[in-house]
Amino acid sequence: MDPILKANIWNDGYLIGNLHLSAATLKSALAELKALEFRPIFGEVYELERDSKRLQAGITVFGPAIEKIYKRIKRIVKESEDEWYTKRKLWAALKSLPGGLRQGLHRDFPSFETSKALLEKGVVQASVIISLMPNT
């Protein structure tokens, strides 16, 4: 990855890591996700209009490859912060179709929510984004 891009991503609060999973596992995971039923999602947090080029599907069934990824992420999260945990029911797959606008960094939580969580709980919500395709 380009060092400048990596630095910019770090400055926006993201950590880039490698799950050290085999190419076969990643290929299988991508196939499992492609079988999901994707629907348009909101273009931005709380926006009323849907972006037809950005799709999302809830991951309700964890196939063998997605299960491996889930277990690896669960371990990393648990070792990172005592109060952090993962919820299977919140896992989702995102898909961008050709022809859409270039996307900025994905954020699940607006600033006011993370500020409130920090003030009330002393920790903030965190998201994990797993890229299974090049240039995503």
pLDDT per residue as tens digits for the range 3-60 = 787 777 766 667 777 889 999 999 999 999 999 999 887 655 545 556 678 888 999 9
Q: pLDDT of 98-135, one tens digit each?
A: 877 666 656 666 777 778 878 887 777 777 778 887 76
CA distance 24 to 36: 19
What secondary structure letter does DSSP report for 109?
Answer: S
Determine the Cα angle at 134 with ends 85 and 42, to 5°. 60
Amino acid residing at 29: A
**Cα angle 105-106-110, degrees, rounded to a multiple of 5:** 110
Closest-CA residue to 93 (of 118, 130, 44)? 130
